[in-house]
Structure 1
Amino acid sequence: MGELKNCPSCGEFFNYTGLREVCNNCAMNEEKLYEVVYRFLRKRENRAATVERIVEVTGVEESLLHKWVRKGRLQPAMFPNLGYPCDNCGKLTIQGKLCKGCTEEFKSGLRQLDAALEFREKVNTHENTYHKQK
């Protein structure tokens, strides 16, 4: 059983079952646009097209291209200049929610935090150690 939602594209009510994020009419329209994009990208000379170029030629919204790459419908392995924005900085990425730079930055921050916590733990244990003087 689904729930009643507003379509984010057109605003109409539709029965959301978890399969599609948009109503049937918008889903059919997205499929038509996907076919336009895919036909454009299948041509050898267009495989390295950037997101901006694809939008310019096909008229498809950039957000739809990002959505298709994120869902795996357009494979960056086949079309190397495709991607979707990193949730942190907006730079294009092809997997996960963060680009490589942001991932490394977060990992570095976690390593620093771990080192600081380890140091604090050593200091706390050292303060609780009593030495008997002779």
Structure 2
Amino acid sequence: MAELANCPRCYGLYIKGSALVCQNCLKQEERDFQTVYAFMRKKQNRTANVREIVEETGVDERTIRGFVKSKRLHPAQFPQLTYDCSKCGAQIREGRLCESCTNELQDGVRKQGEIDQLSERNRKDDMGQVTYYTVKRDKV
């Protein structure tokens, strides 16, 4: 069954489906993409950065970065296009995290793995053969 939702851009009501925005915003996004792509196809504009594209086309910076992130505009073709790292906000050209955040995450995983191995080893050591002793006391 279809779900009724508010569009995150214009706050209008729409039936939520595969699109994350209403039909009007979706059409506007497509017009914005065509404007940006037409600008970027010109040879002299291929090295333009996001600020220059915003100034020339009037399309919002967040929208342009969204096109790059969703791979509608490929950084291989347009070398100055970037988007934000999901963790720290640094400008990146591919993936979700910048190199430093990736390294930090990998270090954390490595350390957690070492901690898990040590705790597992300690647990196994503690579960060795256990001997219980009792003291027999004579009644006096």
Partner of 1:3: 3
Q: Deviations over 1:43-85 (max 9, x none)?
A: 1121121112211221111111122122221111111121221
Tell me the TM-score normalised to structure 2 length.
0.79
Q: Report the secondary structure of 2:15's partner residue.
A: strand
Output the aligned Cα RMSD.
Answer: 1.9
1:81 is matched with which residue? 80
**Which amino acid is the alignment partner of residue 90 of structure 1?**
G
Cα–Cα, structure 1 residues 96 and 2, in superposed 2: closer, same or farther, change >3 Å?
A: farther
Indicate the structure (1 or 2) with the bigger Cα radius of gyration.
2
Residue 71 of structure 2 is matched in structure 1 by 72
Once the two structures are TM-superposed, the CA of residue 97 in structure 1 deviates from its matched residue by 2.2
In structure 1, the residue matched to 2:33 is: 34
SS at match of 1:81: coil
The DSSP-based 3-state class of the residue aligned with 1:5 is: strand
For 1:32-111, list aligned pairs within 5 A.
32-111=31-110
Give a deviation string over 1:87-113, Cα, whole Å, max 9, x none. 100012233322222111100111122
Pairs aligned (count): 129
C-alpha distance in 2 between matches for 1:113 and 1:124: 16
TM-score, normalised with respect to structure 1 = 0.83
Q: Distance in 2 between matches of 1:25 and 1:124?
A: 60
2: CA distance between counterparts of 1:24 and 1:122?
A: 58
Most deviating of 82-91 and 109-118? 109-118
The Cα of 1:127 is off from its aligned counterpart by 5.5
Unaligned runs of 5+ in 2: 130-140
